[in-house]
Amino acid sequence: MYRRVLLKLSGEVLSGEGNKGFSEESIKYLSQEIKKLSDHGMNIGLVIGAGNLFRGKELKDVTNTIADNIGMMGTVINALYLKDYFEKMGIKTVVVSQIVHLPSVRTIHYDDIELYFNSGYVVIFAGGTSNPFFTTDTAAALRAIEMKAEILIKATKVDGIFDKDPKKFTDAVKYDTITYDKAISKNLKVMDTEAFAICLRYNMPIVVLDFFKKGNLLNALLNKNVGTKVIP
């Protein structure tokens, strides 16, 4: 069983597929899945995107640097929303970030993160990598290394990594395991190349799974055969 995990979520987890904003039903489901991990005594770090609010490519008249800054601020909005909801569900939560100074957001310090985990808090890392031009996939890889996670979970809408898009091709073949090198060389779009490269450098295993199948997340951390595992 894995004791310390970094979970990468898309903003759509908060809104429902293809929607914007916040969905009570979606966030309740997320909270229930996180509480299962918390009840098992696992240390949980979260990185969440901001696609439920806006995506950089949607801001066509905005320069890339500014669009990325807006996206990073969106992840802070989502993190604070989740903190409030989680705590109402009895899940102790702290939001940490390097890009804002708000009363409800704490600066990232490695020693403090250890203290949060030892006190049973879920730690939400907001603000991406703190720099433009990098996605939240890359932020998740960085934060997983920083928090000494045993595994990085990429939550998606499909049951792992396939050789092509299973939503478009009925003959798509799923990988049970795949190496970082193969994932990079095949240019598989499930995660950014930068994120794969960071995990390769530090031997951080990744599991890509269907987050919307109830119990998948906990089963992956209990080392059951769920999704696709990316390994050295």
Note the pLDDT tens digit of each residue in 87-138: 999 999 999 999 999 999 999 999 999 999 999 999 999 999 999 999 999 9
CA distances from 10 to 53, 54, 191, 192 (A): 11, 12, 12, 14
Amino acid residing at 129: T
Residue 35 has a pLDDT of: 94
Whether pLDDT at 18 is above 90: no
Average pLDDT over residues 8-29: 92
- Residue 59, domain extent: 4-231
pLDDT of residue 223: 87
| pLDDT score of 222 | 92
In the chain, the number of structural domains is: 1
Contact residues for 226 (Cβ-Cβ < 8 A; gap 6+): 207, 209, 216, 219, 220
pLDDT of residue 164: 84
153-164 residue pLDDT tens? 999 988 999 988
Whether the per-residue pLDDT at 188 is higher than 90: the answer is no
pLDDT of residue 232: 84
126: left (phi over 0), alpha (psi -120 to 50) or beta: beta
pLDDT of residue 9: 96
Q: For residue 224, what are the contacts with CB-CB under 8 A and spacing of at least 6?
A: none
**23 in the Ramachandran plot: left (φ > 0), alpha (ψ -120 to 50) or beta?**
beta
* pLDDT confidence bin for 56, thresholds 50/70/90: low
pTM of the model: 0.94
pLDDT of residue 166 exceeding 80: yes
* CATH at 142: 3.40.1160.10
Question: Which sign, positive or negative, has the C-alpha torsion 141, 199, 68, 109?
Answer: positive
Q: How far apart are CA 34 and CA 14, in angstroms?
A: 13
